[in-house]
C-alpha cells in the first residue's frame, strides 16, 4: 500500500489501486492535496477512526450532463415549483446534513468526519467546493455538495428531508452545468439512484481520459449562482 508523506503531494498512478479501488493511505486534507487528488481521479473516503484512505475505483460511475434522464414523476415535481433551489448559500450546513445519521449508520456514524467538514469548507471558501440547496417554506429540506475543477464536477454526497428534495437539487445542478459546458459529473460508484438519472459505468482508463479533457476547461471558481433565465425556461418544460 502506497503511504503518502505530508510534504509530498504526489499520488501513485491510479492503475496501482487494489481491485476494490484503494490506492493510498495517509497524508492530509489540505486544499492543495485534495485538488491534486481530484485532478487525478482520486478521492478520500474513510471512517472516523481510520487513517485517510484514498480511492480510485474501476469501473467509475459517471453522469454526462447531456445524458441526464428525468423520471416522469420528477418532471411533475419540477413543474409544480413547490421547492426553491439555490447555490452556495449554506455550504457547511449542507455538509452537516449529509453527515447526519442514515439508515446504514444506526449509531449515527458517518464517513464525513469533522476533519472532512473543515477541509471541504476551506475548499468552498477558495471557490472550488459548491453546494446546492433545496428549500420549502424557508426550511432547508435537501441538497448536495461536490468539488468543481475545470469542466468536471465531483459529486460527494446528498441528503433529503422531504421526498424528491435532493433529486430536484440534482436536476437543477445538472441543467446548469450543461449551460456552463461541463463535460462530466463524477458519481464515484454506481447506485440505483444515480443510474436512474442516466449515469453509467465506464472503465477507469476511459474516465481518466475524459477527465483530462474536462480539466482543459477553465475553472469556474468562486460562488455560484443559477442562470435564472435558463433555469426558468427548463423548469417550465412540459416534457
Q: What is the pLDDT of residues 122-181, one digit of tens each?
A: 999 999 999 999 999 999 999 999 999 999 999 999 999 999 999 999 999 999 999 999
DSSP-based three-state secondary structure for 143? strand
State residue 142's pLDDT score. Answer: 97
DSSP-based three-state secondary structure for 99? coil
Cell output for 136: 420549502
pLDDT band, very low/low/confident/very high, at 236 (cuts 50, 70, 90)? very low
Average pLDDT value for the chain: 92
Q: What is the pLDDT of residues 56-69, one digit of tens each?
A: 999 999 999 999 99
Least confident of 28-32, 86-90, 164-168, 192-196: 192-196
State residue 235's pLDDT score. Answer: 46
Of 171, 162, 89, nearest to 131 by C-alpha is 89
Domains of the chain: 2-57 (3.30.70.3550), 61-235 (3.40.630.70)
Structural contact between residues 17 and 41, judged by C-beta atoms closer than 8 angstroms: no
State residue 14's pLDDT score. Answer: 98
State residue 234's pLDDT score. Answer: 52
Quick one: what percent of the chain has pLDDT higher than 90? Answer: 83
Q: Find where cell 430536484 sits.
A: 168
d(CA 167, CA 158): 9
Q: What is the pLDDT of residues 34-54, one digit of tens each?
A: 999 999 999 999 998 899 999
Cell output for 167: 433529486
d(CA 1, CA 25): 7
pLDDT band, very low/low/confident/very high, at 104 (cuts 50, 70, 90)? very low
d(CA 85, CA 206): 33
Going from the C-alpha of 46 to that of each of 157, 169, 172, the distances in angstroms are 14, 26, 29
- CA 97 to chain CA centroid, Å, is 15
pTM: 0.92
Amino acid at each position: 500500500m502506497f503511504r503518502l508523506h505530508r510534504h509530498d503531494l504526489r499520488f501513485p498512478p491510479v492503475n496501482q489501486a487494489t481491485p476494490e479501488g484503494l490506492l493510498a493511505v495517509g497524508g492530509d486534507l489540505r486544499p492543495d492535496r485534495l485538488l491534486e487528488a481530484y485532478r487525478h481521479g482520486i478521492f478520500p473516503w474513510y471512517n472516523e477512526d481510520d487513517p485517510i484512505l484514498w480511492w480510485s475505483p474501476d469501473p467509475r460511475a459517471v453522469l454526462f450532463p447531456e445524458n441526464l434522464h428525468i423520471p416522469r414523476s420528477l418532471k411533475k415535481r419540477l413543474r409544480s415549483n413547490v421547492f426553491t433551489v439555490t447555490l452556495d448559500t449554506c455550504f457547511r450546513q449542507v455538509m452537516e446534513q449529509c453527515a447526519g445519521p442514515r439508515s446504514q449508520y444506526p449509531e449515527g456514524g458517518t464517513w464525513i468526519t469533522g476533519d472532512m467538514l473543515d477541509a471541504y469548507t476551506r475548499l468552498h471558501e477558495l471557490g472550488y467546493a459548491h453546494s446546492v440547496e433545496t428549500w420549502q417554506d424557508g426550511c432547508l429540506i435537501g441538497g448536495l455538495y461536490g468539488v468543481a475543477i475545470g469542466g468536471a464536477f465531483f459529486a460527494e454526497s446528498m441528503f433529503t428531508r422531504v421526498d424528491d428534495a435532493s433529486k430536484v437539487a440534482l436536476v437543477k445542478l445538472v441543467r446548469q452545468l450543461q449551460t456552463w459546458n461541463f463535460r462530466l459529473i463524477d458519481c464515484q460508484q454506481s447506485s440505483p439512484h444515480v443510474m436512474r438519472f442516466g449515469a453509467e459505468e465506464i472503465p477507469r482508463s476511459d474516465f481518466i481520459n475524459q477527465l483530462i479533457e474536462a480539466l482543459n476547461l477553465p475553472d469556474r471558481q468562486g460562488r455560484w449562482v443559477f442562470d435564472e433565465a435558463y433555469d426558468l425556461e427548463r423548469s417550465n418544460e412540459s416534457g
